[in-house]
């Protein structure tokens, strides 16, 4: 009897940013072992990261990144999990799943282990419906459909570019909320997947995230964070805002909801506050910037959209702080580096 | 020991449109008996509707509607549950809950009966967040909050005008979907409430719906349906599209999700197809119309918004069918009738 091959086995890479031995993979073994891993080692490159035996992986440390990208390596953050986006760039697969190394397998309410990757793949392989809200949530899920009053012309939906998964146990709160609610745990399993409507921004978390590289890869840049930068913990947020604007412009969809992972440990809220506090101010201007950002019709590829966005960041956000001038330049460098490593799809 | 009074006991009316004896109220007795009911009797006014003893109610049949509104009664549909909106108009309370007479008490996954009205009241009394999507859904619910990256300036939210509840068992499908999937039942209990984002339309179902009359009442018009009209089963949809545009303009929120009711019986798909088929065509033009509808700044009240909307319906939808000319006039008549019965809040 032939075994069933895991879905998208040869078309998906799992990207893991880390500074430590990857013991967390033991719990994921039944789900991740068939797939190829791209490990992006952050911090001291002389340190050896142990990967449990049996996993198929490639590992890049800072020296590797510098060697591969040369001066363009400046766009890849150091000492911040934002470095993970190097893995998106170096992959040759159509799909990426990225997960933090403090995330474990969660259980559904019946006590059954959740195969997060399988659910992400389901999300990515069926359409999104950003143009009209369906009150029974994902109409493509078994046992659901479009409800009365949903226009038939919109029922084909649009291709799904991103699947944003959630977290049981430690919720993804900012430092102020962590400080105010140190004991809050997310125990509510909400059994749904839904499309974020067109024109609506959302806070994208990089902890448990999958996407279609071919559709949105070049916009999945996690910005300049960590070492030498005035800000941290906005890497995934930045990528999410950029990606949402590009998806809305190009007619692509973003889903959020299932699958859950179990997030084991809250990061230190005091450290987080130091990383976040400028972002807490800046996001009050960044959000209206992205809400009002219009991409011209000529922007027909992700790369073109992204370059145009970098110009508008420079024009409109640099007055907030010189950091945005540097970030706008890094966005251009990122696209150059992407095209260098992915010449077939270069802009 | 003093008994706890049911929430909003003196501030909420339950509106029920019906053509039959209200035996279904027996199951709702523990939840509805403390509240005042407004029963809108549809069809033959000489028929007597039996209401189980112990309920506090007023009942209006067609003769009553004609007597109260005179020639303006023409805006209230006949032989269609759209007539329920007369109950919204005649109420003197701040809040309305409306429910169909084939809807029963549902159970949550633990088997416990769901107090739908209590959940609607919770939804209405806490703010909505239409300006930015929160990935952990309703941030005001116990055990949840705003996630990292949610702008602090938007965390106060906006007042909630409408709470849209869902249905277990028979889903609210259109006739074509009913015909294709006669056996589909909704068995998925999705434990969430969320705000429909600003700028996004949704299909509002009138089966299990609550709203704040003071905030949105005059826009909750269920249109011209049934007897003498070319269309049925678009009454709640029409109201939903109008309300969403007005809420977006006035900075009000609409929530959907919990509570569930148990919808017992699918209506006849062949009859439904006859009522719906023009709507299925027309909605392809109506949706873009509402998506592009802009209300001028001068429209500072629901009534002003609604009158302006009636003008745009006449201007832009009449070419679709003369029906919309009649509907636009009825929208004006509805506001006149509303102001007649509610002089204190008249435009």
- Total of domains in chain B: 1
Asked if the C-beta of B4 comes within 8 angstroms of chain A's C-beta atoms, the answer is no
Chain B residues close to A174, C-beta within 8 Å = 147-150
Tell whether A7 is covered by a domain: no
Instruction: From B290, B277, B193, select the one nearest B244 (Cα to Cα).
Output: B290
Q: Is residue A54 pLDDT above 60, yes or no?
A: yes
Pairing label, strands B36-41, A208-212: unpaired
Asked if the C-beta of B181 comes within 8 angstroms of chain A's C-beta atoms, the answer is yes
Are A149 and B199 inside 8 Å of each other by CB? no
The CA distance from A268 to the nearest CA of chain B, in Å, is: 14
| Closest residue, chain A, to B150 (C-alpha) | A203
Give the DSSP H/E element, type plus range, for residue B176.
helix B175-180
Instruction: From A164, A170, A205, select the one nearest A187 (Cα to Cα).
Output: A170
Domain span at B271: 12-342
Distance set, CA B273 to CA A45, B43, B103, B216, B241 (Å): 67, 21, 22, 31, 21
Is residue B240 classed exposed, middle or buried when 0-12, 13-18 and 19+ CB atoms within 10 A define those classes? Answer: buried
The sign of the CA dihedral A293, A299, A303, A308 is negative
Q: Is residue B133 pLDDT above 80, yes or no?
A: yes
Which residue matches tokens 């062949």? B270
Look at residue B54 in the predicted model and tell me its pLDDT.
97
User: pLDDT tens-digit profile of A215-261?
Assistant: 999 999 999 999 999 999 999 999 999 999 999 999 999 999 999 99
Phi-psi category of residue B79: left, alpha or beta, with phi > 0 → left and psi -120 to 50 → alpha:
left
Residue among A136, A154, A196 minimizing CB distance to B171: A136
User: pLDDT tens-digit profile of B317-340?
Assistant: 999 999 999 999 999 999 999 999
Distance set, CA A166 to CA A140, A183, A193, A212, B268 (Å): 20, 18, 10, 18, 40
Q: Is residue B346 pLDDT above 90, yes or no?
A: no
Stretch B143-158: mean pLDDT, rounded?
A: 97
Look at residue B98 in the predicted model and tell me its pLDDT.
98
* CB of A224 closer than 8 Å to CB of A251: no
User: pLDDT tens-digit profile of B35-76?
Assistant: 999 999 999 999 999 999 999 999 999 999 999 999 999 999
H-type alpha helices, B61-145: 62-69, 85-90, 116-125
User: pLDDT tens-digit profile of A86-144?
Assistant: 999 999 999 999 999 999 999 999 999 999 999 999 999 999 999 999 999 999 999 99
Record the pTM: 0.97
User: pLDDT tens-digit profile of B204-239?
Assistant: 999 999 999 999 999 999 999 999 999 999 999 999
Tell whether A5 is covered by a domain: no
Distance set, CA B148 to CA A223, A233, A273, A330 (Å): 17, 9, 11, 24
Helical axes A322-341 vs A62-69, angle rounded to 10°: 80
Q: Is residue A2 pLDDT above 60, yes or no?
A: no
ipTM score: 0.96
Q: For residues B91 and B214, what is the distance between their CA atoms, to the nearest angstrom? A: 11
Structure tokens at A26: 């033991």
Structure tokens at A286: 């960044």
Q: Is residue B302 pLDDT above 90, yes or no?
A: yes
Structure tokens at A91: 């992959």
Q: For residues B95 and B11, what is the distance between their CA atoms, to the nearest angstrom? A: 6
Q: For residues A258 and A253, what is the distance between their CA atoms, to the nearest angstrom? A: 15
Q: For residues A82 and A206, what is the distance between their CA atoms, to the nearest angstrom? A: 9
Tell whether A25 is covered by a domain: yes
- The pLDDT confidence band at residue B347, using thresholds 50, 70 and 90, is low
Instruction: From B203, B221, B169, select the one nearest B279 (Cα to Cα).
Output: B203
Task: Please give the DSSP secondary-structure letter assigned to residue B154.
Answer: G
Asked if the C-beta of A273 comes within 8 angstroms of chain B's C-beta atoms, the answer is no
Q: Is residue A74 pLDDT above 50, yes or no?
A: yes
Which of A123, A149, A208, A242 to mutate against chain B (most B CBs within 10 Å)?
A149
Look at residue A344 in the predicted model and tell me its pLDDT.
80
Asked if the C-beta of B234 comes within 8 angstroms of chain A's C-beta atoms, the answer is yes
Structure tokens at B316: 């832009």
Asked if the C-beta of B55 comes within 8 angstroms of chain A's C-beta atoms, the answer is no
| DSSP 3-state of A77 | coil
Tell whether B287 is covered by a domain: yes
Are B135 and A191 inside 8 Å of each other by CB? no
Look at residue A155 in the predicted model and tell me its pLDDT.
98
Residue among A132, A144, A236 minimizing CB distance to B201: A132
Look at residue A3 in the predicted model and tell me its pLDDT.
60
Asked if the C-beta of B148 comes within 8 angstroms of chain A's C-beta atoms, the answer is yes
Give the DSSP H/E element, type plus range, for residue B332.
helix B322-341
Asked if the C-beta of B267 comes within 8 angstroms of chain A's C-beta atoms, the answer is no
| Closest residue, chain A, to B241 (C-alpha) | A149
H-type alpha helices, A110-223: 116-125, 175-180, 213-216
10 Å Cβ neighbour count for B256? 23
Look at residue A303 in the predicted model and tell me its pLDDT.
98
Stretch A151-173: mean pLDDT, rounded?
A: 97
Tell whether B20 is covered by a domain: yes
Are B149 and A174 inside 8 Å of each other by CB? yes
Tell whether B109 is covered by a domain: yes
Strands (E), B177-252: 193-195, 208-212
The CA distance from B174 to the nearest CA of chain A, in Å, is: 4
Look at residue B2 in the predicted model and tell me its pLDDT.
52
Distance set, CA A321 to CA A18, A290, B329 (Å): 30, 17, 55
Q: How many residues does chain B have?
A: 347
User: pLDDT tens-digit profile of A171-221?
Assistant: 999 999 999 999 999 999 999 999 999 999 999 999 999 999 999 999 999
Residue among A133, A172, A204 minimizing CB distance to B202: A133
The CA distance from B340 to the nearest CA of chain A, in Å, is: 32
| DSSP 3-state of A117 | helix
Look at residue A169 in the predicted model and tell me its pLDDT.
97
Q: Is residue A17 pLDDT above 70, yes or no?
A: yes
Structure tokens at B69: 């509104």
Pairing label, strands A95-99, A193-195: unpaired
CATH number of the domain residue A141 falls in? 3.90.550
| Closest residue, chain A, to B180 (C-alpha) | A145
- The pLDDT confidence band at residue A1, using thresholds 50, 70 and 90, is very low
| Closest residue, chain B, to A290 (C-alpha) | B132
Tell whether B6 is covered by a domain: no
Look at residue A266 in the predicted model and tell me its pLDDT.
82
Over pLDDT 70: what percentage of chain B? 99
Stretch A62-83: mean pLDDT, rounded?
A: 98
The CA distance from B271 to the nearest CA of chain A, in Å, is: 15
Instruction: From A181, A9, A218, select the one nearest A93 (Cα to Cα).
Output: A9
Instruction: From B22, B332, B84, B73, select the one nearest B228 (Cα to Cα).
Output: B73
Q: For residues B319 and B272, what is the distance between their CA atoms, to the nearest angstrom? A: 25
Arithmetic mean of pLDDT over chain A: 96
Stretch A70-94: mean pLDDT, rounded?
A: 97
Look at residue B1 in the predicted model and tell me its pLDDT.
47
Asked if the C-beta of A144 comes within 8 angstroms of chain B's C-beta atoms, the answer is yes
The CA distance from A143 to the nearest CA of chain B, in Å, is: 6
Arithmetic mean of pLDDT over chain B: 96
Tell whether A2 is covered by a domain: no
B 308-327 residues with CB below 8 A of A?
none
Look at residue A265 in the predicted model and tell me its pLDDT.
86
Phi and psi dihedrals of A279, rounded to 5? -65, -35
């Amino acid at each position: 009897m032939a075994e069933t091959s895991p879905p998208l086995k040869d078309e998906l890479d799992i990207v893991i940013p880390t500074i430590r031995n990857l013991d967390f993979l033991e719990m994921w073994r039944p789900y991740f072992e068939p797939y190829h891993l791209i490990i992006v080692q952050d911090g001291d490159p002389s340190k050896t990261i142990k990967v449990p035996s049996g996993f198929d992986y490639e590992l890049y440390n800072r020296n590797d990144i510098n060697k591969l990208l040369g001066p363009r390596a400046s766009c890849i953050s150091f000492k911040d999990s934002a470095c993970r986006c190097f893995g998106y760039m170096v992959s040759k697969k159509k799909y990426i799943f990225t997960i933090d190394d403090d995330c474990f397998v969660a259980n559904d309410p019946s006590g059954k282990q959740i195969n997060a990757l399988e659910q992400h793949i389901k999300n990515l392989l069926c359409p999104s419906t950003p143009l009209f809200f369906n009150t029974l949530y994902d109409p493509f899920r078994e046992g659901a459909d479009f409800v009365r009053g949903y226009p038939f012309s919109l029922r084909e939906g649009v291709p799904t570019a991103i699947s944003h998964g959630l977290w049981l146990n430690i919720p993804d709160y900012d430092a102020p909320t962590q400080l105010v609610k140190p004991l809050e745990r997310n125990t509510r399993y909400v059994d749904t997947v839904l499309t974020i409507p067109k024109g609506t921004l959302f806070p994208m978390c990089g902890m448990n995230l999958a996407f279609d590289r071919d559709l949105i890869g070049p916009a999945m840049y996690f910005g300049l964070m960590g070492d030498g930068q005035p800000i941290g913990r906005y890497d995934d947020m930045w990528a999410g805002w950029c990606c949402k604007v590009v998806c809305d412009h190009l007619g692509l969809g973003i889903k959020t909801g299932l699958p859950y992972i179990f997030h084991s440990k809250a990061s230190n809220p005091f450290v987080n506050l130091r990383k976040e506090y400028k972002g807490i101010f800046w996001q009050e201007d960044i959000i209206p910037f992205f809400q009002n950002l219009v991409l011209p019709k000529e922007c027909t590829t992700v790369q073109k959209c992204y370059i145009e966005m970098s110009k508008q960041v420079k024009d409109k956000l640099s007055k907030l702080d010189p950091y945005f001038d540097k970030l706008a330049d890094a966005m251009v460098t990122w696209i150059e580096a992407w095209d260098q490593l992915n010449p077939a799809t270069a802009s």
